[in-house]
Each structure stands twice: as C-alpha cells, then as structure tokens.
Amino acid sequence: MVRRRTQWLKRPSFWASTFALLAGMIALAGCTSADDVDRAAALVKAATPKITSIHRFPRNSMSRPDAPPIFVQPGAIQPPVTKVYEIKNRTEQDKIIVALQTVMRDQKLKRVDLQFMDHENWIVDGNVGKRGPELQLRRVRISQGRVQEDGGEKTITYLPKELQ
C-alpha cells in the first residue's frame, strides 16, 4: 500500500497537474476582483473632496484633465494604493492622512497605502500617454488607529527603460 502512494510521486503527470493547479491558484489570488475595483472607486470618490478641501491644486491631473491628481489603484492581495500628487508640505500631508483615516473608518477599510508624489510625469507620444519616472516624496501605510512611515524620497519607474 505504501508503495502505491509513492509511485504517484514518480509520475510526471502528477507533477505537471500539481504545478498547473498551483499556478492557477496563484493567478486567481493575484486577480483584482470587481469588488476591489468598486472599493477603489468608492475610496477615490470619498477621499477626493476631503483632500481638495485641505489642499487647493493649481491644476488638474495631466492624465485625467477633468480631475485633481488623486488616484486609487485597487488591491487584490495588497491594500489599495492612493497616490496624491503635488503636496509637498508635510503639515498638509499629515492632515490628508487624518482625512483618509476618516474615510477608511466610514468605508470599513482595514488598510490603505498612501503615496505622496512630487508631480505627474505624463509622457504623450501621438495619441498614447504613459507615466514616466516619478519622485515619491513620502509613503505611509494607514490602518485603523495606526500610521506607519514606509518610505521617503524615491524615484518610481513604471516601465523598464527598454519599453519607455
């Protein structure tokens, strides 16, 4: 009986199917669900008026000309990432952190990553736009009742150099 069990481990089909199953599970775990997208949309909708009441942006976003430079990327495994551009004053940043904590409490969110970015580096080539390297000024992880500094100034590159 023990010999039968160990024979399965010697079969290539067993390992191939195990690998395929694990790869599928990993792929599903990394997918952003419609719920995640809806939560991100609700977060940006609730956070934008609070942020704009603290900081008056001199211009709208370069990538979305009808909105201020505030973005939320949904997270599947990781928490949503909120990016706010052009706020360099640390006191204003701290006020925005408090405002975002209020929004999180209202929406029952556990964690949000917040990045303060220097300015949008939106590169337009014909009809196509893409983000160039951008300077992160500050990064914080916000959870219920806790704010953790997670990073200071750092250049963020969105695409490999050969694809830029």
pLDDT at 87: 96
- The dihedral formed by the CA atoms of 124, 158, 83 and 92, expressed in degrees to the nearest 10: -90
Coil, helix or strand at residue 156: strand
Beta carbons within 10 angstroms of residue 117's beta carbon: 21
How many whole angstroms separate alpha carbon 79 and alpha carbon 123?
Answer: 27
Domain boundary assignment for the chain: 1-30, 33-163
pTM of the model as a whole: 0.76
> What is the residue-wise DSSP string for 18-67?
HHHHHHHHHHHHHSPPHHHHHHHHHHHHHHHHHHHHH---SS--SSSTTS
The pLDDT score that the predictor gives to residue 28 is 46
pLDDT digits (tens, 9 = 90+) for 11-67: 666 555 656 565 555 444 455 677 778 888 888 899 999 999 999 999 999 989 999
Tell me which residue of 111, 105, 53, 103 sits closest to 81, measured CA to CA: 111
In degrees and rounded to multiples of 5, residue 86 shows phi and psi of: 70, 15
Task: Say which CATH class 33-163 falls into.
Answer: alpha beta
CA distances for 91 relative to 81, 87, 117, 152, angstroms: 21, 10, 15, 15
Arithmetic mean of pLDDT, 126-134: 88
CA 89 to CA 65: how far, in whole Å? 23
Residue (of 46, 88, 81, 83) closest to 64 by Cα position:
83
Q: In this prediction, what percent of the chain has a pLDDT beyond 70?
A: 76
